[in-house]
Structures are given as C-alpha cells and as structure tokens.
Amino acid sequence: MSKSTGKFVAGALIGAAAGAIAGVLLAPKSGKETRADIANKAKEYAKTGKEYATKGEKAVKGAIHDAAEKVAEKTS
C-alpha cells in the first residue's frame, strides 16, 4: 500500500468514526441506547481496523519476500 493510499484510508476511517460519533451523540435516544450504539460502533471499527492491519501486514510480507528473491537472484 502506498503512502498516499495509507493516508487516505486513515483519513477515511477517522472521518467515518467522527461522523458516526456525531450522529450517535446528536440522535434523540436515551443514554443507555446511546452507550450501546457507541459500543457497537467501536466494535465494528475495531474489526475494520484489524482487517486493514492484516491486509497491510500481508502486503509488507509479500514485498519483503519479493525483495529477498530479487537479491538472491542477483547474488547467485
């Protein structure tokens, strides 16, 4: 993932979180319902963050593997 793509994804996640929080806090619900909504959104965003981290980890491992193969080819 390139730097600009990573920054875009981070910005999109932060924007989505801010929008969700604003929507939940401004909605006419009871405190108990609002806290439940916040907890549910936090779990959802944590899951999404873990998925992005896993994808990033796989991309980095793949890039390292490819680089190692290229070095091995050139030094052989």
Enclosing domain of residue 12: 3-75
Per-residue pLDDT tens digits for 21-49: 888 778 787 888 888 888 898 899 889 88
Structural domains in the chain (count): 1
**pLDDT over 60 at 56, yes or no:** yes
**pLDDT over 70 at 2, yes or no:** no
Model pLDDT, residue 43: 92
Report CA-CA distances (Å) from 53 to 11, 46, 65, 76: 15, 10, 18, 34
Model pLDDT, residue 1: 55
Confidence of residue 69 (pLDDT cuts 50, 70, 90): very high
